Amino acid sequence: MKDVIQKLAHIVQTVSHATSPNEQMSLIVESISNSIDTDVCSLYRANEKGDMVLYANKGFFSSAVPNIILPAGKGLVGQAAINRRPINVANAQKHPNYLYVTQTKEERFQGFCAVPLVSMRKTIGVLVVQRKAARKYSKMEESFLVTLAAQLALLLVNLPLPKCDEGATNLITGMKGAPGIGIGNCHFCDHFDLFQAPNAPCENIDTELDEWRELLAFVSNQLDDEKASLAGGIVEDVSAIFTTYRMLLSDPGFSREVENRIREGNWLPGALRQATQFLAERFLSMDDPYLQARHEDFHHLGNKLYRTWKGAKAASTKDLSDIVLVGQLVSVSDLASIPRNRLKGVVCYSGSILSHTAVLANALGVPALMGTGPIPGLTDGQTLIVDGHQGQLFVNPGELLLAEYQSLIRDNLRLVRRLDSLRDLPAETTDGERISLYANTGLLADLSPGLNNGAEGIGLYRTEFAFMMRDSFPSEDDQVNTYSHVFSAYQNKPVYIRTIDIGGDKPLPYFQFDKEDNPALGWRGIRFSLDNSNLQMTQVRAMLRAAKDTNNLNIILPMVSSSQEIDAFASLLSDACQQLKDEGLSIVRPPVGIMLEVPGAISQISSWKNKIDFISIGSNDLSQYLLAMDRNNARVASRYDHVHPAVLREIERIISITKASGIPASICGEMASDPVAVVLLTGLGLRKLSVSATKLPQIKWMIRSLSIKKAEYITSKVMQLDSASAIRKQMTEFLGDLGLGEII
């Protein structure tokens, strides 16, 4: 009983500290899922008509969750709401009031318990838990949920009801998929959803198999046409998204899954739905966010195959001059179908910022929002404002709001033109101090933006993306081809390439990792690559071959924490150089440095002065380890800030030690792209920054508007402050006084 009370208190306290309604609801389902034995936890909120809108969920197939609205009184959820008492059954599908919702694929779950959230004798929502096992939730579990529901009702009663009144401006929030501002007319995608396709008997298995193979060939050719339609507008690795989809279609495993289900007697749409769901959920179950996002690729392909099978034609857009594509998961095919001069924005009800949709939108310069959730009342043709900078969507904006955003678009164009004029000028302070600005990248798509924005080199090239976007380890020749593109683009400019940072929380789909209790501190980075020295040797040989006899390759080692790791890599590098020389190649041994991410490495810097050639401060992981906070954890993300006094003081210590040891130091990560942090970093003495390609012009403009003397003065003042919020407040005022407020 004491444990139950502690769980209740913990959940209520956690939820009450959330900073937004969306965060509250997400924390509710996450906390409950972690507290009792359940496979699914869902939170429904009643709208003005009494319908139940699914607002948060953990456990369903994520791309299907948004936009589910259960009519008032319908299904077990509706019955729990009307009767204001729990419904706890061993097999929900056998209950006479059961309502099947195709998008959730909840036929996988049998045990079911729904508990109403009641406030002032009115049901404001329903809390639902489900599990695959055909058994009821225990009396203790049901009592726990009833007690928790009473507490949650008090917290949620003051939240606004879900609504979208026609003719009224409605603000929707989502994740920032691609930056920018766009104004256009709503145009829906995904009118046909594969996951609503039912099972049905297959009348002739051989005929169905032939139809499936013809469908595969036809859609493969369609993808080639779509790729060609974007030729010249996007660079190689973004264009390769279409190649990736085509490879998925030609994957024997995918086709085999569909064919096996057809042979089991299911017709083509049902078999396609089952196979797509099976493969997508394999990726969805992975811990790494990038790999999780790959489940969306199967959803896109499944829908494309299904729509083509049905003979569906795309809705006409000829009457819409400016278009905002809206859908559950807007696909790359949808983006390719709209002329670029007419595509003004993308809105996905679900999906992640790592999805191929977000990558392509970013490459095309189209603002995108991901994971907005349900948008009741949205109709084709409505005017939308997509704010990719703030992660906001305005439906039916009024004249004043529309005029304000149109003005912002004009101001942004003027700022872009002003920044373009600085492209070939050095990042030099007003008192003549030169700051080197490099670009971060891991995709070939970022090569051109970095160069176009005046990058002096690549400060961090993340090699793991080339490993994660494949179904097997890339060969040495494959890697040579990739790295050669990088060196070719940045001829005569320094290129810092990080060896593969994989393992732990970033597994590969084709390599088996053991489950780790704390993957962030586990088998990853240099630890993984040295233990798999054959993979490390292949990668190092590829780097050396691609760089040939140039002097612009620099190798960065991730997650270094000991001298033994540096020594082991130095020995491997020597072997690689000798092998290639023996093969008749002209090789220059490159400088080798470390990514300083592990706090324990700071005190060892001075002893490494004869072992390493440079240090690159990895601000993302270093900040997280110093603060013991995961910036992607909703419960603590609001407290995470890389200008925390502890982080700044450790960076000050790093700079002091590296200067005394004669080791060049730079910084990469989000901190180097944050204007507030950049002023402080230059004030502390750093003169080399590696930033995101899109932020490079703003950072250069700020540096050219600032003197080192002023940066050192303001830095000395804020280093006396005891909180990140106080530091940001004072720095915001400082930048505002310099006329740089618009870049914050």
Burial annotation 95-132 (CB, 10 A radius, 16+ → b, else e): eeeeeebebbbbebbbbbbbbbbbbeeebbbbbbbbbe
- DSSP conformational letter for 201: B
Residue 306, pLDDT > 80, answer: yes
Which one has a higher pLDDT value, 354 or 140?
140
Contact in structure between 385 and 181 (CB atoms under 8 Å): yes
668 as an active site residue: the answer is yes
pLDDT recorded at residue 532: 86
Domain CATH for 141: 3.30.450.40
pLDDT (mean) for 599-616: 96
Domain CATH for 699: 3.20.20.60
Distances in whole angstroms, Cα of residue 424 to Cα of each of 240, 420, 444, 702:
30, 9, 22, 15
Helix H segments across 349-458? 356-364, 399-420, 447-452
Which residue type is seen at 305?
Answer: L
Contacts of 648 (CB under 8 A, 6+ apart): 680, 684, 719, 727
Which one has a higher pLDDT value, 708 or 294?
708
Tokens of 56: 């948060």
Residue 504, pLDDT > 70, answer: no
Residue 256, strand partner residues: none
pLDDT recorded at residue 432: 94
Cα 634 from Cα 448, distance rounded (Å): 34
pLDDT (mean) for 506-527: 70
CB hemisphere CA count around 722 (13 angstroms)? 0
Q: 397 in a domain, yes or no?
A: no
pLDDT (mean) for 172-179: 81
Which residue type is seen at 607?
Answer: S
Cα 355 from Cα 300, distance rounded (Å): 11
Q: Which residue in 187, 300, 356, 644 is the catalytic one?
A: 356
What is the overall mean pLDDT for the chain?
83
**First vs last C-alpha separation in the chain:** 50
> Edge-to-edge, what's the strand order for the sheet holding 69-70?
69-70, 52-58, 40-46, 122-131, 111-119, 87-89
| Of the residues 156, 180, 206, the one at which a domain ends | 156
Contact in structure between 452 and 235 (CB atoms under 8 Å): no
Label residue 694 by pLDDT band (50, 70, 90): confident
3-class SS at 637?
helix
Q: 231 in a domain, yes or no?
A: no
Instruction: Compute how many other C-beta atoms are within 10 angstroms of the C-beta atom of residue 451.
Output: 16
Give CA 600 to chain center in angstroms: 29
In 3D space, the residue among 389, 391, 371 whose CA is nearest the CA of residue 26 turns out to be 371
Cα 165 from Cα 172, distance rounded (Å): 13
Structurally, the chain folds into a number of domains equal to: 2
Cα 688 from Cα 691, distance rounded (Å): 10
3-class SS at 718?
helix
- DSSP conformational letter for 636: T
Q: 595 in a domain, yes or no?
A: no
Residue 410, pLDDT > 70, answer: yes
Which residue type is seen at 459?
Answer: G
Residue 668, strand partner residues: 618
Instruction: Compute how many other C-beta atoms are within 10 angstroms of the C-beta atom of residue 568.
Output: 18
In 3D space, the residue among 155, 154, 128 whose CA is nearest the CA of residue 15 turns out to be 155
pLDDT recorded at residue 239: 60
Label residue 21 by pLDDT band (50, 70, 90): low
Tokens of 6: 């502690």
191 as an active site residue: the answer is no
pLDDT recorded at residue 442: 75
Cα 471 from Cα 62, distance rounded (Å): 23
Contact in structure between 71 and 378 (CB atoms under 8 Å): no
Cα 717 from Cα 123, distance rounded (Å): 54
Instruction: Compute how many other C-beta atoms are within 10 angstroms of the C-beta atom of residue 740.
Output: 18
pLDDT recorded at residue 510: 62
Which one has a higher pLDDT value, 337 or 318?
337
Tally of residues, the chain? 744
Parallel, antiparallel, or unpaired: how do β-strands 69-70 and 52-58 relate? antiparallel
Cα 161 from Cα 47, distance rounded (Å): 5
Contacts of 238 (CB under 8 A, 6+ apart): 359, 360, 363, 443, 445
pLDDT recorded at residue 307: 80
**Tell me: the pLDDT tens digits for 355-409?**
777 777 876 778 999 888 768 778 888 999 999 887 889 988 888 788 888 888 8
Tokens of 18: 């959330």
Q: 521 in a domain, yes or no?
A: no
Q: 134 in a domain, yes or no?
A: yes
Burial annotation 2-30 (CB, 10 A radius, 16+ → b, else e): eebeebbeebbebbeebeebbbbbbbbbb
Q: 331 in a domain, yes or no?
A: no
Task: Give the residue carrying structure tokens 């948004």.
Answer: 66
Supply the range of the domain harboring residue 52. 2-156
Cα 85 from Cα 118, distance rounded (Å): 10
Contact in structure between 629 and 520 (CB atoms under 8 Å): no
Task: Give the residue carrying structure tokens 């809105």.
Answer: 347
Q: 202 in a domain, yes or no?
A: no
Cα 48 from Cα 160, distance rounded (Å): 10
Tokens of 312: 């569906």
Instruction: Compute how many other C-beta atoms are within 10 angstroms of the C-beta atom of residue 630.
Output: 13
Tokens of 32: 């409950």
| Of the residues 110, 128, 156, the one at which a domain ends | 156
**Tell me: the pLDDT tens digits for 415-426?**
777 777 888 899
Tokens of 581: 């020389």
- DSSP conformational letter for 434: B
Residue 373 Ramachandran class (φ > 0 left, ψ -120 to 50 alpha, else beta):
left
Contact in structure between 229 and 343 (CB atoms under 8 Å): no
Instruction: Compute how many other C-beta atoms are within 10 angstroms of the C-beta atom of residue 31.
Output: 20
Distances in whole angstroms, Cα of residue 490 to Cα of each of 444, 457, 547:
12, 7, 11
Which one has a higher pLDDT value, 66 or 573?
573
DSSP 122-139: EEEEEEEEEESSSSPPPH
Residue 503, strand partner residues: 506, 524
Burial annotation 640-674 (CB, 10 A radius, 16+ → b, else e): bbbbbbebbebbbebbebbeebebebbbbbbbbbb
| Of the residues 134, 156, 178, the one at which a domain ends | 156
Residue 495, strand partner residues: 458, 553
pLDDT recorded at residue 327: 85
Crossing angle of the two packed helices 399-420 and 696-704, in degrees rounded to 10: 70
Instruction: Compute how many other C-beta atoms are within 10 angstroms of the C-beta atom of residue 565.
Output: 19
Label residue 444 by pLDDT band (50, 70, 90): low
Q: 128 in a domain, yes or no?
A: yes
**Tell me: the pLDDT tens digits for 129-153?**
998 888 899 988 898 899 888 878 8
**Tell me: the pLDDT tens digits for 31-45?**
888 788 888 888 898
pLDDT recorded at residue 180: 86
